[in-house]
């Protein structure tokens, strides 16, 4: 599934992990680096390196918070916003590819079976 995400995003020069970060930054005004760290659930050094790449590509900028200069707020740049708004939704694209050649009835049958299997595991 991750590889399929990357295939959808590759023409835009965006990796799956970058898409997740850009998505959260786009939808969360006044986002701090600490808040993004909590959401992404990675090590601080890993997030910093990833943000450095996004910043080098010109998609984000980090500014000190007005009340506390130790706190960094992350925002999309105009280029980052344009990029985000031009990206296809990889979830929709991958789902469409995954279900290609599968009828609505077959999809529903698969959902029913998987729901029952999940219920069985929940009561294990």
How large is the average pLDDT for residues 107-111? 93
Q: Is residue 34 part of a domain?
A: yes
Mean pLDDT of the chain: 93
Q: Is residue 99 part of a domain?
A: no
Domain containing residue 62: CATH number: 1.10.10.10
Which tens digits make up the pLDDT trace of 64-99? 878 777 888 999 999 999 999 999 999 999 999 999
Q: Is residue 104 part of a domain?
A: no
Number of structural domains in the chain: 1
Q: Is residue 54 part of a domain?
A: yes
Q: Is residue 101 part of a domain?
A: no
User: How many CA atoms within 13 Å lie on the side-chain side of 49?
Assistant: 6
The whole-number pLDDT of residue 71 equals 82
Q: Is the sign of the CA dihedral 101, 104, 109, 111 positive or negative? A: positive
What is the span of the domain harbouring residue 33?
2-88
Which tens digits make up the pLDDT trace of 21-48? 999 999 998 899 999 999 999 999 999 9
């Amino acid at each position: 599934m991750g590889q399929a995400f990357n295939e959808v995003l590759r023409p835009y020069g965006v990796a799956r992990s970058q898409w997740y970060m850009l998505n959260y930054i786009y939808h969360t005004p006044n986002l701090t680096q600490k808040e993004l760290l909590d959401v992404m659930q990675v090590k601080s050094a890993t997030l910093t390196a990833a943000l450095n790449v996004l910043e080098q590509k010109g998609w984000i900028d980090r500014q000190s918070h007005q009340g506390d200069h130790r706190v960094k707020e992350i925002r999309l740049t105009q280029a980052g916003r344009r990029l985000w708004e031009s990206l296809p939704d990889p979830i929709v694209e991958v789902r469409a590819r995954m279900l290609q050649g599968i009828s609505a009835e077959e999809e529903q049958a698969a959902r029913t079976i998987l729901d029952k299997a999940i219920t069985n595991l929940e009561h294990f």
